[in-house]
């Protein structure tokens, strides 16, 4: 069985989008501990091959990060699933801020699971490419901004959840301020080669931190380009 997926310059589903290939990825993630059925369904259904260069499309459903240009990567599916699951655990957030749109794959996985999704990307060509993908996939609850992730997006704060797709050495204070009561912030933190995925939950004026495991992300950089 092959799922025909049109778009991205006319790419259609041959091999790289087969239901069997996607199901193998889902089974692998389940074996690694991803249990939320909504998250697994999104990994199964979002056409990851549309978010990578055509030359890499046959590797789109491998559980690995892949280059997307400009020194950035599309995150490993396990990490996308783990971060999404950690964000949704407990009361599902209605309004979420994503720092680092990149190619838009994490955004596409998260979009149907929340009410409002705001996403910031500092590299303009990546943002515009993601915008086209979201239009193709008819993701209507995603709001995009070309901006500096260190500053967040004050206009729509507070957020029930903040998800960071690039690693700061420390969480920017601006993001703590934009996290609402009971809100959860999911982020890789630390220098390259020594990053930990953390979940920070706001309880009044206190912030409770849990460490979820080791990860490898590109660093969060200041400014826009």
Q: Is the pLDDT of residue 35 over 90?
A: yes
Architecture of the domain made up of 67-215? 3-Layer(aba) Sandwich (3.40)
Q: What is the pLDDT of residues 55-89, one digit of tens each?
A: 999 999 999 999 999 999 999 999 999 999 999 99
Average pLDDT, rounded, for the chain: 92
In percent, the amount of the chain with pLDDT more than 90 equals: 88
Residue 16 clears pLDDT 80, i.e. is over it: no
Query: What integer is the mean pLDDT of 27-37?
Result: 97
Edge-first strand order for the sheet with 95-99 is: 142-146, 116-121, 95-99, 159-164, 179-189, 195-203, 206-215
Q: Cα separations (Å) of 114 from 58, 88, 160?
A: 30, 9, 10
> Which pLDDT band holds residue 91 (cuts at 50, 70, 90)?
confident
Q: Which residues contact 140 (CB under 8 A, 6 or more apart)?
A: none
The whole model's pTM is what?
0.91
By annotation, the residues acting in catalysis are 75
Compare 172 and 9 and report the one with higher pLDDT. 172
pLDDT band at 8 (very low <50, low <70, confident <90, very high): very low
């Amino acid at each position: 069985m092959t799922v025909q997926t049109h778009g991205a310059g006319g790419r259609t589903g041959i091999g790289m989008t087969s239901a069997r290939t996607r199901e193998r990825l889902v089974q692998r993630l389940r074996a690694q501990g991803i249990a939320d059925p909504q998250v697994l369904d999104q990994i199964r259904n979002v056409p990851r091959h549309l978010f990578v260069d055509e030359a890499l499309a046959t590797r789109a459903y491998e559980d690995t990060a892949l280059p997307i240009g400009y020194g950035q990567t599309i995150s490993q599916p396990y990490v996308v699933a783990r971060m999404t699951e950690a964000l949704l655990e407990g009361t599902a957030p209605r309004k979420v801020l994503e720092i680092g749109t990149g190619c838009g794959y994490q955004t596409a996985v998260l979009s149907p699971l929340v009410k409002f999704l705001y996403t910031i990307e500092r590299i303009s060509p990546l943002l515009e490419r993601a915008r086209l993908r979201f239009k193709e996939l008819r993701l209507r609850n995603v709001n995009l901004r070309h901006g500096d992730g260190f500053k967040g997006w004050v206009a729509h704060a507070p957020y029930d959840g903040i998800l960071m797709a690039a690693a700061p050495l420390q969480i920017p204070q601006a993001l703590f301020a934009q996290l609402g009561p009971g809100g959860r912030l999911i982020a890789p933190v630390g220098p390259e080669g020594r990053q930990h995925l953390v979940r920070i939950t706001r309880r009044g004026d206190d912030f409770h931190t849990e460490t979820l495991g080791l990860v490898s992300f590109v660093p969060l950089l200041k400014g826009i380009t």
